[in-house]
Amino acid sequence: MRISVQVDGVAYTDEVEPRTLLVQYLRDHLGKTGTLIGCDTSNCGACTVHLDGASVKSCSVLAVQADGREVTTIEGLASNGELHPVQQAFHECHALQCGFCTPGMIMQSASLLRENPHPSDDEIREGLEGNLCRCTGYQNIVKAVRQAAGSNA
Amino acid sequence: MTITDDRPEVTNEIGRSRLRKEDRRLITGRSRYTDNIVLPGMLFLGMVRSPAAHATITAINVAEAKASPGVVAVYTGADLSDAHGGLPCAWPITPDQKAPEHKAVAVDRVSFAGEIVAVVVARSAAAARDATELVDVDYEDLPVVLDLQTAAAGAPYAHPDLGTNVSAHWVYDSAEAGNGTDVKAVIAAARRDGVVLERTYLQQRLIPAFMEPRSTVVDPTGEQITMWSATQVPHILRLMLALTCSISESKLRVIAPDVGGGFGGKLQVTPEEVITLLVANKLGKPVKYTETRSESLQAAHHGRAQVQRLTLAATKEGRVTGLHVDLLADMGSHLGLVTPGVPVLGAFMYNSIYKFEAYRFECTNVFTNKAWTDAYRGAGRPEATFAIERLMDDLAAELGRDPLELRKQNWITHEEFPFATVAGMEYDSGNYEAATEKAVQLFGYDELRAEQARRRAENDPVQLGIGISTFTEMCGLAPSRVLGALSYAAGGWEHAQVRMLPTGKVEVVTGVSSHGQGHETAWSQIVADKLGVAFDDVEVLHGDTQIAPRGLDTYGSRSLVVGGIAVTKAADKVIEKGRQIAAHLLEANVDDLEFSGGRFTVKGTDQGKAISEIAWAAFDGHNLPDGMEPNLDADAAYDPVNFSFPHGTHLAAMEVDTETGAVAIRKYVCVDDVGKVVNPLIVEGQVHGGLAQGIAQALFEEAVYDENGTLTTGSFVDYLVPTAADLVDFVTDRTETPSLTNDLGVKGVGEAGTIASTPAIVNAVIDAVRHLGVTDIEMPCSPMRVWKTIQGAKPGSPESETPDEKQPHFDADETETGGGHK
């Protein structure tokens, strides 16, 4: 099937198998390997991207469902060399260790803050419930989201 | 050309919370995990895995799979068996240790569900996976051995040819070793006129569950075969593959690029790595294999899985006199790289921070038809700490004492260091009083105890419990002589190289292999201080056997304590070389030169030269002392003289809803003493992550098999890695008692949080409901299990009958002759 998708500001038109997942399309067709795959049951959230501005787990979306829509990945989040406030906060708060959950965690955090610019700690924790991290114990991730919320205000 | 001295004025990098150098790539998606690597002409593997836990393979038909579109080849165990000598186990803990053959692909029998029976090679990962469904394997079921205690008792056998399920029996006895008295005598004395506690604790089977699934790429198209792998141990992997796959070590290059966590789970030589290598060599094409999460949970090695039978002897006054540990350890189906040694690592830690007269540890390693076990964060030490810290709480309850007071009565005081322990270790330094006092204050121990009493008096349905765990651990694996004495196949040294480039920038090569620890940042700090160069001028190189040719990699909280010290030794050598050149250029005596802040100066004068100037002089070679080689590079290999012994005190407050069994973390405080700290930010992050994993063992995680040996927790739907919503903010703090056995005074932090948090949480849960008659709750303390235990503690309840395996594990004869286990 032929799809046309805007990814990180670039327009692509490609033939894909109907069963191709969005994450496979991003990684295998477009070389957008910044988006990672951590599980096969939509539990870990490592593959989280924005589809028309809202966060989705790109393993749970077919590539054909992205036809005519706009995708932002971790690779397109910074603009003109300026880190997104969430990226900056993850760095400053030591909110990553191995980095594997990080792309999904940052995309989910950015989406969370767009929906709720001033979340409580509980709201942050609940908002990130669909993203697993094995390294940080989440404390510094929560701190980073809190900090990014402040910088957005 | 001249190089000017433009160094920053103040360095003092060690102790600074430097933000990590590694982050920029990882937060922008510019990562290089193995599965991201794509090579021209690359082929992909799909694994056919056994659904049976124990069966004979009677037939394999690959014809249909071979005919599937895009399939290049299909291999069975018979096709690949001759190309390698079996997967390695580097730790024969006894001379007569038994082990089954361990082929990467099973040949005629499978011994756990998930074992690979055939391999499909195809042009895409999807085509390979599609074709795995078309491989037709006939199995004839064999009796399945799953329960550890049943397996230890005799037939049926996980491997019928072995004629036993017991792999090895390993004993440490303080009287025999000359480090203490006879534990049987001590227990007999306590039975007459003291207290004897007998307990059985279950360490459930866990799965490391690193976030990056394992992945391997092999490119055989160069003169050297290159393997990229999601591994903690590129150097060990290279050596072991060379030894077992008939490949010259010099023909193999192993790269651990970005690695997404390990926690011991990537301390392995895996069937998948061997298969990818063999297939790439057979076909002469680059090959990639990346596992799915389900495959990872099913077939990557598991951890823990022990039954601990414990006998503790104490005086009526609360002084612990002896401990007997009788351990059953589940090896699972095979012996992996260090599988048999994991319980042995715990053997030296059951006495923990306490002064016991007598100690005996015996361990029986047992095969079952489950995924094989191996190192998981802490590896033996969390199990040991859990046992003794649960026992200390139980002893306090038995004697009606405050559990903190009882610990104080028994621990080694700070004046008593260095302290030779009953387990044969020499603890160099520590201050348990200071760490505990700080933790108690941060926790508000007295206030929480008062609240607990109030809630009890009011019969509040939600009860409060306070759990304590102190701990120490042995880190910095390890002095090579000690490893030799324990029959481990390799040493425990580490290597580093420091290279001063002509422009004064520095390259540091380290033999340890970061997979999230932040070595690039911390090593830069160490070298910046040592050489007086800027933090940003130091580049740390690692994780590639071509770039870092020697090393023993990252595990066992060893990277800083061994690898970091190797870096300091190499930097010292650079300074000494620089001193020779500086003395020559300054026309001064070598002994008259001082080095500080990156500058060699002649004592008592203002004459001097910056190390960057010396680096250029070494490069241009125009005016060097006779016989001096023209560079400022140095190598060092460091073998630690002793382990290091971090310690800490962890306090947990848990709320338990007695009507529903729901548990919630109210407060968690820990004060760790990991010696000198290079980067507090990184240390704190390590503690946070460790706490989460230890708490997960206490409350959430368990690898569960059904009666057929099928893993029922084979996805993240069922294997409960905690989410952000399951955890709270922890209060973490430190005391700093430097290690006395290494130059930096560091002790290691990677495993600390995992070790102490499990018993702290479980002790707190039990403390909340002990007044209801509860004395033990198996992990994970899920709401159902907590509720059932509370119900069972009610007199007359059907839940209150004690199952056989929880009955006291001694009999009357032994009681009369002074205890001990059969």
B49: CATH: 3.90.1170.50
Q: Which of residues 709-748 of B touch A (CB under 8 A)?
A: 715-717, 721, 723-725, 727, 729-730
**Assigned domain for B591 exists:** yes
pLDDT at B678: 97
pLDDT at B794: 82
Residue in A94, A124, A132 nearest the CB of B20 = A94
Of B262, B278, B299, the domain-final residue: B299
The reply to whether B94 and B127 lie within a common domain is: yes
Same domain, A69 and A90: no
- Looking at the fold, whether B120 and B225 belong to one and the same domain comes out as yes
Do both A37 and A69 map to the same domain? yes
**pLDDT band at A150; cut points 50, 70, 90:** confident
Q: Token digits for B284?
A: 């002469």
Contact indicator for B474, B381 with CB cutoff of 8 Å = yes
In angstroms, rounded to a whole number, what is the distance separating the alpha carbons of residues B376 and B697? Answer: 12
Does residue A28 sit in the same domain as residue A59? yes
Whether residues B65 and B27 fall in one domain: no
pLDDT of residue A151: 72
A14 and A41 part of one domain: yes
Residue numbers in A near B30 (CB within 8 A): 34, 75
Q: Residue B573: which domain range?
A: 23-31+494-638
Asked whether residue B90 falls in the same domain as residue B49, the answer is yes
Instruction: Please check whether residues B602 and B632 belong to one and the same domain.
Output: yes
The pair of structure tokens assigned to B780 is: 């994970």
Q: Quick one: A6 and A56 in the same domain?
A: yes
**Could you tell me if residue B629 is inside a domain?**
yes
CATH number at residue A28: 3.10.20.30
Name chain B contacts of A139, Cβ cutoff 8 Å: 688, 727, 729-730
Residues B27, B120 within the same domain: no
Buried/exposed B443-477: b ≥16 CB within 10 Å, e otherwise:
bebeebeebbeebeeeeeeebbbbbbbbbbbbbbb
Domain shared by A59 and A6, yes or no: yes
pLDDT in tens, A109-144: 999 999 999 999 999 999 999 999 999 999 999 999
Distance from CA of A132 to the nearest CA of B (A): 6
B27/B131 same-domain check: no
Chain B residues with beta carbon closer than 8 angstroms to that of A34? 28-31
Q: Could you tell me if A115 and A139 lie in one domain?
A: yes
Interatomic CA distance for residues B138 and B116, integer angstroms: 14
Pick from A36, A40, A87: CB nearest B27: A87
CATH number at residue B628: 3.30.365.10
Domain residues for the domain of A7 are: 2-76
pLDDT of residue B795: 75
Closest CA to A99 of B33, B559, B692, B748: B33
Domain end among B638, B655, B687: B638
Contact B213 A101 (CB under 8 A): no
Task: Verify that A59 and A27 share a domain, yes or no.
Answer: yes
Q: Is the pTM of this model over 0.90?
A: yes
Residue B567 within any structural domain of the chain: yes
Q: For residues B364 and B309, what is the distance between their CA atoms, to the nearest angstrom? A: 11
Q: How many domains does chain A have?
A: 2
φ, ψ at B334 (rounded to 5°): -145, 175
Say if residue B56 is in the same domain as residue B27.
no
Other C-beta atoms within 10 Å of B614: how many?
A: 27
Domain boundary among A76, A94, A118: A76
Smallest CA–CA distance, residue A4 to chain B, in Å, is 22
User: B-chain residues within 8 Å CB-CB of A8?
Assistant: none
Indicate if B525 and B617 belong to the same structural domain.
yes
Total tally of structural domains belonging to chain B: 2
Task: Report yes or no: A149 and A118 within 8 Å, Cβ to Cβ.
Answer: yes
| Residues 6+ positions from B719 with CB-CB distance below 8 Å | B207, B209, B297, B701, B703, B713
Residues of A in contact with B23 (CB under 8 A): 90-91, 96, 99
Residue B117 lies in a domain: yes
Phi-psi region of A138 (alpha: psi -120 to 50; beta: other; left: phi over 0): left
> Of B638, B660, B680, at which residue does a domain stop?
B638
- Which residues in chain A have Cβ-Cβ distances shorter than 8 Å to B27? 74, 83, 87, 90-91, 96, 99, 102, 106
Task: Please tell me whether residues A72 and A127 are part of one structural domain.
Answer: no
| Interface with A, mutate which of B20, B21, B22, B28 (most A CBs under 10 A) | B28
Asked if ipTM goes beyond 0.90, one says yes
Query: Does B776 fall in a domain?
Result: no
- Chain A residues with CB under 8 Å of B36 CB are 27, 33
Angle at B486 between CA B483 and CA B491, to 5 degrees: 20
Q: Which residue of B has its CA nearest to A133?
A: B211
The reply to whether B31 touches chain A by the CB within 8 Å rule is yes
Q: Residues B127, B221: one domain?
A: yes
Which segments of chain B have a pLDDT < 70? 1-11, 797-822
Q: Do B542 and B604 fall into the same domain?
A: yes
Query: Quick check: is B254 in a domain?
Result: yes
Closest in B209, B259, B753 to A134, CB measured: B209
Q: Could you say which of A28, A56, A76 is where a domain stops?
A: A76
State whether residue B28 sits within 8 Å of chain A by CB: yes
Look at residue B815 in the predicted model and tell me its pLDDT: 42
> Which residue among A18, A49, A76 closes a domain?
A76
B27 and B78 fall within a common domain? no
Residues A39 and A57 in one domain: yes
Shared-domain flag, residues A47 and A107: no
Residue B27: closest C-alpha in chain A: A87
Quick check: B29 and A100 CB within 8 A?
Answer: no
CB B515, CB B260: distance < 8 Å? yes
Q: A34 with A66, same domain?
A: yes
Q: Rounded to an integer, what distance in angstroms lies between the CA atom of residue B490 and that of residue B478? A: 10
CB atoms within 10 A of CB B329: 28
* CATH code, domain with A92: 1.10.150.120
Shortest CA distance from A95: residue in chain B: B685
